């Protein structure tokens, strides 16, 4: 009674690796010569070949004192392996071409005035996306965090950059960086020219700061109690009011630096009035696959915190 034909299970990644070893052994003419090419020991090559023979249910080659030679089954398996490996390389090349020809749009919402952040991870990621996919159209909207979150949830935006606040169940977050803010007043404010040192007469005190008119952002809860007599929807609005010399207000250090260096602003009691705000990139959970967004996030994850948003 003849032995029933054996059917091979579906090809796996491990099978592909074994077939590559097999191809190299055949092309090198034996195990010893393949050691250098594969950079593994002869014993490891022998084990791989034994694993492949068990996997295929075939004797692929004879090895011994008489040297290395393929069996007839091995010759047929080698020819089939060449066709399979060529197909996988062709597939890889075609997919790489797809990546290079990425088309479409990336709609991104960003909280205002992050461009002066020293850690320019968003900028670097956008540059990396442009290099990978020059035909992609990037659309940036500078809008408040709540509008960004809503836009990502309803699909108007692919991705957003917002402060870490409450966790919305429909959003996935990727930590980005931390932003530190100080309390500033502008040139002409009653506290602007007063000293910081508490031992000096006339130095700025907490009571002075808490009595001063302050501008509060409408989109954030601050950890300090101030005399908020004005509000602003964004940081530029806060800066406008500070520069009047009539208000104190919190601004990110990186954003306020341009006015501090020109002598138009100063920080008040920075050892007391400071706070940090964490930023994250948000995407919609369960969204349809989007290769453009995937490439942007891939580059973003690859950009380190130590890079010069």
Q: Please, what are the domains in the chain?
A: 13-98 (1.10.10.10), 105-170+280-302 (3.40.190.10), 179-277 (3.40.190.290)
Cβ-contact 282, 172 below 8 angstroms: yes
Cβ-contact 198, 205 below 8 angstroms: yes
CA torsion sign for 308, 122, 181, 191 is positive
Highest mean pLDDT among 23-37, 167-181, 229-243, 276-290: 229-243
Which one, of 100, 173, 165, 167, lies nearest residue 135 by Cα?
100
pTM of the full structure? 0.59
Q: What is the DSSP letter of 285?
A: T
Q: What is the pLDDT of residue 9?
A: 66
Say whether pLDDT at 133 is over 90: no
Say whether pLDDT at 4 is over 60: no
Q: What is the pLDDT of residue 308?
A: 44
Cβ-contact 105, 123 below 8 angstroms: no
The mean pLDDT of 230-248, rounded to a whole number, is 93
Q: What is the pLDDT of residue 197?
A: 74
Q: What is the pLDDT of residue 1?
A: 43
Quote the CA–CA distance of 72 and 86 in Å, as a whole number: 21
User: What is the per-residue pLDDT across 134-148, written as a single tens digit (0 to 9) for each?
Assistant: 888 999 998 888 889
Say whether pLDDT at 200 is over 70: yes
Cβ-contact 116, 167 below 8 angstroms: no
Say whether pLDDT at 49 is over 50: yes
Q: What is the pLDDT of residue 159?
A: 93
Residues 6+ apart with CB under 8 A from 51: 18
The structure tokens listed for 288 are 């349809």
Say whether pLDDT at 176 is over 60: yes
User: What is the per-residue pLDDT across 95-119, written as a single tens digit (0 to 9) for each?
Assistant: 766 666 778 899 999 987 777 776 7
Cβ-contact 142, 129 below 8 angstroms: no
Say whether pLDDT at 207 is over 70: yes
Quote the CA–CA distance of 179 and 185 in Å, as a whole number: 19
Q: What is the pLDDT of residue 100?
A: 62
Instruction: Name the pLDDT band for 8 (thresholds 50, 70, 90).
Output: low
């Amino acid at each position: 009674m003849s032995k029933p034909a054996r059917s091979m299970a579906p090809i796996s990644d491990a099978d592909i690796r074994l077939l590559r070893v097999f191809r190299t052994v055949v092309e090198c003419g034996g195990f010893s010569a393949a050691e250098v090419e594969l950079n593994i020991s002869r014993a490891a090559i022998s084990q791989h070949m034994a694993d492949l023979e068990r996997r295929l249910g075939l004797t692929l080659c004879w090895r011994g004192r008489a040297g290395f030679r393929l069996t007839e089954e091995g010759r047929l398996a080698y020819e089939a392996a060449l066709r399979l490996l060529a197909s996988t390389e062709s597939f890889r090349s075609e997919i790489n071409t797809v990546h290079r020809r990425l088309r479409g749009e990336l709609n991104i919402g960003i909280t205002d005035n992050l461009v002066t952040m020293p850690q320019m991870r968003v900028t670097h990621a956008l540059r990396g996306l442009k290099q990978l996919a020059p035909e992609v159209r990037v659309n940036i909207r500078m809008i408040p965090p709540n509008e960004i979150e809503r836009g990502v949830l309803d699909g108007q935006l692919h991705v957003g950059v917002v402060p870490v606040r409450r966790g919305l169940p429909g959003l996935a977050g990727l930590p980005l960086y931390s932003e530190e803010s100080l309390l500033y007043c502008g040139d002409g404010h009653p506290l602007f020219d007063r000293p910081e040192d508490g031992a000096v007469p006339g130095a700025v005190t907490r009571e002075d700061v808490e009595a001063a008119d302050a501008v509060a952002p409408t989109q954030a809860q601050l950890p300090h109690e101030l005399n908020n007599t004005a509000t602003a929807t964004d940081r530029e609005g806060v800066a406008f009011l500070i520069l009047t010399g009539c208000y104190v207000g919190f601004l990110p250090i990186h954003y306020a630096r341009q006015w501090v260096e020109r002598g138009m602003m100063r920080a008040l009691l920075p050892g007391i009035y400071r706070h940090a705000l964490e930023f994250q990139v948000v995407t919609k959970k369960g969204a349809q696959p989007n290769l453009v967004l995937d490439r942007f996030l891939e580059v973003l994850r690859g950009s380190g915190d130590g890079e010069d948003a």
